[in-house]
Amino acid sequence: MKVYKGTFLDPVELEPFEGYLSVEDGHIAGLDRRAPRSAAVTPLPGIVVPGLIDAHVHLTMSGGLNPVAELEQMGDALLLGRAAGYLKRYLRAGITAVRDLGSRAGSVVGLAQAVAAGHLEGPRVIAAGPVITPTGGHGWKFGLEADGPEGVRRATRAVLKQGSAAVKFMATGGVMTPGVRAGAEMFDEEEMRAGVREAEKRGAVSAAHAQGLAGIKNAVRAGVRTIEHGAFDAWDEEVLELMKHRGTVFVPTLAAPDGILRGEGRVPAFMVEKTRPVAERHRANTLAAYRAGVAVAAGTDAGTPLNTHPNLARELELLASLGMEPGDVLRAATTFAARALGREAELGRIAPGFVADLVALGGDPLATAAAYARPLATVVRGSIWRG
């Protein structure tokens, strides 16, 4: 048994607890006011919160000025070697779990398996592998093209066969495929329902890349677990009601347009042209979802232009700047992000039975979101990471 002493902040309780946290088999065994007898005690500095979770990353993309052009030039081994290097940066930033929502072929799935098997040090990776998109749809170059409910069901099974723990469907167009209208519908509701059902019944989480309102509603009605981005149309009461009623998690990825707009003049012009007109609406939609009681989870889309690994602290700063309460910013990166990963029963809380993934912050996250930028120590499955 290991014992840590410190000030622990659970995102549900939101009451700092000063005392001792004991760990057995990598899980939190208990929280006590007094030191348990016959165990060495390790002090943790600052304020200790659950290990942070980024619900949307692309580990095979660099966050350089034109990541898609780069993907076309680099081989799989090089992409994965580079991604393995990013994993340590995530741990250093206190991020102990990520969901990778799209890589060429199945590449990141193997990386996820290497971390799970202990061959590589890193956050746990819930990986989608290739995205599933209609023929010629958003992301087709690196995804799996499928059409009709039968086709989508078959593609989902093919992705699951590779070992994916997440499946991503393209509900609408996007910013990074030239010539594709960003808000346009892609898969229809019936197609996504077939894929979502196949993924979730096999224990994988379903996600929909969804920008325009019609596509978002299609995805939510199809039962998808998370909606990614949601930037293109102003959200109406109907979509807010639908998402709240069904418990759909919203992952706005505010860091993605933030990076593209900061790179104006340097990133491909078509990306800036698609992003600029909708940036304000994207923030308004995120705030509307939050105020309506929709679960908002933190995901960065790290890997997109000027959105480098890791960038979760920036996403949390952006969420806070909208007026999100500090406790809800913490939940966005812990309990709600854990739900996006399908791991809400084991990740994202400081409570008995949860995995002992922790980060000691140098500031108080209930006072300022800047606290996330200063991690002092990371505990992974009960052990302090010494990287």
Could you list the residues that contact Zn ion (CB under 5 A)? 101, 301
Nearer to Zn ion, 44 or 79 (CB): 79
Element containing residue 205 per DSSP (H, E): strand 205-210
What one-letter code names the amino acid at 214? Answer: A
Minimum distance from CB of 209 to Zn ion (Å)? 7
Nearer to Zn ion, 105 or 376 (CB): 105
Of 9 and 249, which has the nearer Cβ to Zn ion? Answer: 249
Q: Would you call 93 helix, strand, or coil by DSSP?
A: coil
User: Rounded to the nearest 5°, which phi and psi values hold at 227?
Assistant: -105, 125
Q: Please identify, using beta-carbon distances, which residue of 96 and 300 lies nearer to Zn ion.
A: 300
Q: Which is nearer to Zn ion, 49 or 205 (CB)?
A: 205
Q: Smallest distance, Å, CB 87 to Zn ion?
A: 18
The residue among 278, 266, 264, 103 whose CA lies nearest residue 175 is 278
Do residues 135 and 206 lie in contact, with contact meaning Cβ atoms separated by under 8 Å?
A: no
CB of 177 to Zn ion, least distance (A): 12
CB of 76 to Zn ion, least distance (A): 19
Cβ–Cβ under 8 Å, residues 22 and 353: no
Q: Is the Cβ of residue 101 or residue 340 nearer to Zn ion in the bound state?
A: 101
Closest CB 271 distance from Zn ion, rounded Å: 13
How far apart are CB 9 and Zn ion at their closest, in Å? 29
Amino acid, res. 196: V
Q: Do the beta carbons of residue 60 and residue 387 sit within 8 Å?
A: no
CA-based nearest residue to 378, from 355, 360, 365: 360
Nearer to Zn ion among residue 301 and residue 357 (C-beta): 301
| Dihedral-angle region of residue 152 (phi above 0 means left; psi in -120 to 50 means alpha; beta otherwise) | alpha
Distance, CA of 256 to CA of 354 (rounded, Å) = 31
Q: What is the DSSP string of 327-359?
A: HHHHHHTTHHHHHHTT-TTTSS--STTSB--EE
Ranked by CB distance to Zn ion, the top (closest) residue is 301
Nearer to Zn ion, 149 or 305 (CB): 305
Shortest approach of Zn ion to residue 357 CB, angstroms?
Answer: 23
CB nearer to Zn ion: give 101 or 199: 101
Full strand arrangement of the beta sheet holding 295-296: 144-145, 132-133, 166-170, 205-210, 226-229, 249-251, 295-296
Instruction: Tell me how far apart the alpha carbons of residues 92 and 95 are, in angstroms, rounded to a whole number.
Output: 7
**In the complex, least distance from residue 139 CB atom to Zn ion, rounded to whole angstroms:** 9
Nearest residue to 55 via CA among 251, 244, 246, 315: 251
CB of 128 to Zn ion, least distance (A): 10
Following DSSP, what letter does each residue of 31-57 receive, concatenated? EESSPPTTS-EEEEEEEEEEPEEEEEE
Cβ neighbours of 268 (radius 10 Å) = 17
CA distance 136 to 127: 23
Min CB(104)–Zn ion separation in Å:
13
Amino acid at 340: A
Of 49 and 186, which has the nearer Cβ to Zn ion?
A: 186
